[in-house]
Amino acid sequence: MSGNYVDRIDPVIWSLIVELRISILFPLFYYFIERKGLKWGVGLIALSFGLGTVVLFIIDQQFLIGQTIFHIGFFIAGILLTLYWESIRTFSKKQKVYLMLISIFLYFHGFALLVTGINVPQVFSDVVIGVGCVGIILVCYQSETVQAWLSRPIYLFLGKISFSVYLVHCVVFIPWIYLLHNVISSLVVVELLSLPLIFVVAYLSYLLFEKPAQQFGRKLGKQISQFHLQLSETNKERING
């Protein structure tokens, strides 16, 4: 969890380290932006991306310090979406379609770069993907049709196990490369063959680890809330007494 050599266990672990670090400060960011407003939030995003990029170029991936600073900007973007999405003017149906298409292109722009052979810094590409995500979320917020479509059981199920899919896909996929490299040379084919097993393992991971952890978190949060409520009532009694 120091942020060094994280790919020796599971390549995606690096993001958990960054997320855990930022989650410690997240309530403070939310409280600050809620009080200071949109301009301060946008300024913090720019500061996060700029400073994080500078640190990344100076010390590279050491302890994931640069990555942590850089990714704070995405969390702040999420805070701004939560606080201000209702204040954003409602798009027409035609505008929603255009915004969704543009946002999807931005999200998948890496394929266009791959085809054209254009190389850009990863931090730039990450920001472009982030902008695409913001556009997609805005359309989802404003479109009852999209919300109804995403409320179907299959998508709700995929949403539940999506994080587990992210965590286990390398653990499943990489061994398959070694097992099948003498038989199948195409990584794309190996990945397609491993997809069913990835979803099975992800579902088991969700049941065994993620869901119990969520339940424990809710229970702990409820206990903390009750403790604060009791403490508040005790203080009131002392003051009134």
User: Residue 129 — pLDDT band, cuts 50, 70, 90?
Assistant: very high
- Residue 135 pLDDT more than 70? yes
CA distance 203 to 224: 30
8 A C-beta contact, residue 194 and residue 173:
yes
Q: How many CB atoms lie within 10 A of CB 69?
A: 22
Mean pLDDT of 224-230: 85
* CB crowding 98-120: b at 16 or more within 10 Å, else e: ebbeebeebbebeeeeeeeeeee
Q: Which of 36, 93, 41 is nearest to 72 (CA)?
A: 41
Give the residue with greater pLDDT, 234 vs 73: 73
Q: Say what the pLDDT of residue 108 is.
A: 93
- Residue 241 pLDDT more than 70? no
Mean pLDDT of 22-38: 93
Mean pLDDT of 157-171: 93
8 A C-beta contact, residue 73 and residue 48:
yes
